[in-house]
Amino acid sequence: MKILVVGGAGYIGSHMVKRLGQLACHVTTLDNLSAGHRDAVLCGEFVQGDMADLPLLNQVFAQGRFDAVMHFASFIQVGESVVEPAKYYRNNVVNSLQLLEVMRAHGVKRFIFSSTAATFGEPQYVPIDEAHPQQPINPYGRSKQMVEQVLADYDKAYGLKSVCLRYFNAAGADPEGQLGERHDPETHLVPLVLQTASGRRSHISVFGRDYDTPDGTCIRDYIHIADLCEAHWLALQHLSHGRGSDAFNLGNGSGFSVQQVIETARQVSGRTIMVQEAPRRAGDPARLVADATRARQVLGWQPQYADLAVIIAHAWRWECART
């Protein structure tokens, strides 16, 4: 298969590019390197450019003759989206719409979309299944929900088939040690904790210990990056076999608290991890846990790295290689 991976130099996209290469796909990565890294693209062709560049998009599609597109090129910081909503709606919505229009013009009708649990907003119940109301509470979540709605309309009107994958907390690193998480600035808990363990940070902040959870800290559903990529491949197979558009929640179905992550990181690394107590952050739900039953049943998805210690061990090896 010939696949275009938009945003393939970022954290999730680069792992996906590697996986597609292992599956003998012909991969082209399009990335503007605003958040990604050229050296993270381990196989296939690389084009430096932006979804906003219409002539470039048309050129890439004309040359590529793609069977499908995977889209990872979104801005993802919730706090920034509140302060700069225009940036998020322009890139995550307007540029995505342009990408879909170029797909239509070149007859490409399979699309895998990187969505998010943020489309659900404050959970009304947990674990969160696909029937949970989508009521996003920030521009980031709304931008993703908008694209999901666009995709539903494009299917009905144009026959463009898509799978939206709403993941919870992507974590870990390439099991073979070639790739990992390197956002700038880093905002995700696992790499922040491990940067504290390695000495690159002085401490990790725990935002609130008075939540209605067993140890008082927030609970999140961490999904290994390799399992996430496998779900994307299965979603593509789903469309390639002629099945209809769909949306799936991706998670392990068992959450881990902030304190559990810190304690597991201490055990895995054998290092001291200094903790600083901080007030709750606005909009942090006590629990966010996925019900991924449909992904298992419909896609045949079976996470291989559900154990928190394994997720952190892979991320720790990546952190050690960088320090």
Residues forming a β-bridge with 2:
26
Helix (H, G, I), strand (E, B) or coil at 160: coil
Is 88 among the residues known to form the active site? no
Place of tokens 């939206």: 164
Write b or e for each residue in 95-104: b if 16 or more Cβ atoms lie within 10 A of its Cβ, otherwise e.
Answer: bbeebbebbe
Cis bond upstream, residue 214 (ω within 30): no
Cβ–Cβ under 8 Å, residues 273 and 262: yes
Q: Are strands 246-250 and 161-167 parallel, antiparallel or unpaired?
A: parallel
Contact assessment for residue 1 and residue 240, using Cβ atoms and an 8 Å cutoff: yes
Q: Which residue, among 254, 271, 269, has the nearest Cα to 308 in the 3D structure?
A: 254
Task: Answer for the pair 32, 91: CB distance below 8 angstroms, yes or no.
Answer: no
For residues 14 and 219, give the distance between their C-alpha atoms in angstroms, rounded to a whole number. Answer: 27
Residues 206 and 248: their CA atoms lie apart, in Å, by 30
Q: Which pair of structure tokens corresponds to residue 33? A: 């390197």
Residue carrying structure tokens 């903790």: 275
Task: Please tell me the distance from the alpha carbon of residue 222 to that of residue 110, in angstroms, as a whole number.
Answer: 28
Residues 189, 50 contacting (CB under 8 angstroms):
no
The active-site residue, picked from 11, 89, 140, 154, is 140
Q: Which tokens in the block code for residue 108?
A: 């490409």
- Quick check: 8 and 75 in contact, CB under 8 A? no
CA distance 177 to 316: 10
Upstream peptide bond of 303 is cis (omega within 30 degrees of 0): no
Catalytic machinery residues: 140
